C-alpha cells in the first residue's frame, strides 16, 4: 500500500494538534489505543541500541543503522500484528538555498530541522537520514489510515519555519511522502521500503 501527501505551500500551521506523546514537546499528532502499540517493539529497540550509529550533528540514525533497525522491526511487526509506518520529509530547493550560505550554516539549518521533527514525534519513533536533504521517520504502531494525516500535520507545523541564523534566510519548505511498512502484502526489506518512499517523495517535489 502506498499513499502520498500533497504539498500545500502556504497552509497555516495547525494549532492545538494534540500531544507529542512521550516527548512532551510540540503539537505533532494525537494517538489513542487504536494505534498506539509501541510496546511490542521495545525489546527490539533495546537489543539494537548499542549497534546503531547516529550522526553527531543531527542525532539522526545513519542510513546503515536505519536499515538495520527497520529490518528488525519488519520481522517483529507481523509477529505482534503491530502496525509500522514511514514518513519522509524533503527540504524543497535545498541545494540552491544552501549554496547561498557557508556549509557550516547549511549543516546547522538541517540539524535544526531534525531537532524540530524529533521534538514533534513520540520518543518511541525513530528518525534517520535518507538523503542530502531528506529525513525518514519510523512511526511505531501507526496504522495506515492515520499515517498520511500524521505526516501532513508534522509538515504543517514546520512549513515556512526559519532555519539557522536569521541572516541566512533559510526556511523549511517541505514535501512529504508516506508508505505503510506493515501490514502490507509481501515481506519487503528496509532497502526496498526506503527506495519506495524516496520514489514517492520525488514525485511530490
- What pLDDT does 127 receive? 97
Q: Is position 1 within any domain? A: no
CATH, residue 151: 3.30.70.270
Distance, in Å, from the CA atom of 24 to the CA atom of 43, rounded to the nearest integer, reads 23
Q: Centre a 10 Å sphere on the Cβ of residue 4 and count the other Cβ atoms it contains.
A: 19
Q: Is position 56 within any domain? A: yes
Q: Is position 5 within any domain? A: no
Q: Quick check: 72 pLDDT over 90?
A: yes
pLDDT tens-digit series, residues 10-60: 222 223 332 233 333 334 444 443 444 556 688 888 889 889 999 988 889
pTM metric for this prediction = 0.80
Distance, in Å, from the CA atom of 143 to the CA atom of 189, rounded to the nearest integer, reads 19
pLDDT tens-digit series, residues 141-195: 899 999 999 999 999 999 999 998 888 899 999 999 999 999 988 889 999 999 9
Give me 42's grid cell: 521495545
Distance, in Å, from the CA atom of 119 to the CA atom of 103, rounded to the nearest integer, reads 24
- What pLDDT does 9 receive? 25
Q: Is position 196 within any domain? A: yes
CA 133 to centroid of chain Cα atoms: 12
CB 136 within 8 A of CB 88: yes
Identify which of 104, 146, 106, 123 has the alpha carbon closest to the alpha carbon of residue 19.
123
Q: Is position 41 within any domain? A: yes
Distance, in Å, from the CA atom of 142 to the CA atom of 114, rounded to the nearest integer, reads 20
- What pLDDT does 205 receive? 57
Identify which of 75, 77, 63, 85 has the alpha carbon closest to the alpha carbon of residue 3.
85
Domain that holds residue 92: 25-204
Rounded alpha-carbon distances, angstroms, from residue 142 to 58, 122, 202: 24, 11, 23
- What pLDDT does 25 receive? 34
Strands (E), the chain: 2-5, 84-91, 126-131, 134-140, 161-163, 170-172, 174-182
Distance, in Å, from the CA atom of 28 to the CA atom of 50, rounded to the nearest integer, reads 28
Give me 109's grid cell: 539549518
Q: Is position 152 within any domain? A: yes
Distance, in Å, from the CA atom of 168 to the CA atom of 111, rounded to the nearest integer, reads 14
Residue with cell 514525534: 121
Looking at the structure of the chain, the number of domains it has is: 1
Q: Is position 19 within any domain? A: no
Q: Is position 48 within any domain? A: yes
pLDDT tens-digit series, residues 89-148: 999 999 899 899 999 999 999 999 999 999 999 988 999 999 999 999 999 989 999 999
Give me 95's grid cell: 541545494
- What pLDDT does 103 receive? 92
- What pLDDT does 10 receive? 23
Amino acid at each position: 500500500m502506498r499513499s502520498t501527501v500533497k504539498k500545500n505551500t502556504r497552509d497555516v500551521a495547525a494549532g492545538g494538534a494534540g500531544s507529542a506523546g512521550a516527548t512532551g514537546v510540540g503539537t505533532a499528532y494525537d494517538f489513542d489505543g487504536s494505534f498506539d502499540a509501541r510496546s511490542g517493539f521495545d525489546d527490539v529497540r533495546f537489543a539494537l541500541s548499542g549497534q546503531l550509529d547516529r550522526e553527531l550533528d543531527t542525532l539522526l540514525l545513519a542510513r546503515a543503522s536505519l536499515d538495520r533497525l527497520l529490518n528488525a522491526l519488519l520481522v517483529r511487526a507481523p509477529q505482534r500484528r503491530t502496525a509500522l509506518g514511514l514518513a519522509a520529509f524533503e527540504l524543497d530547493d535545498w541545494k540552491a538555498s544552501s549554496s547561498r550560505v557557508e556549509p557550516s550554516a547549511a549543516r546547522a539549518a538541517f540539524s535544526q530541522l531534525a531537532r524540530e521533527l524529533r521534538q514533534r514525534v513520540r520518543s518511541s519513533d525513530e528518525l534517520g537520514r535518507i538523503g542530502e536533504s531528506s529525513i525518514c521517520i519510523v512511526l511505531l504502531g501507526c496504522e495506515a489510515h492515520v499515517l498520511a494525516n500524521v505526516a501532513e500535520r508534522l509538515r504543517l507545523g514546520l512549513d515556512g519555519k526559519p532555519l539557522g541564523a536569521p541572516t541566512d534566510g533559510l526556511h523549511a519548505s517541505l514535501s512529504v511522502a508516506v508508505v505503510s511498512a506493515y501490514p502490507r502484502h509481501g515481506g519487503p526489506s528496509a532497502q526496498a521500503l526506503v527506495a519506495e518512499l524516496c520514489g514517492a517523495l520525488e514525485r511530490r517535489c
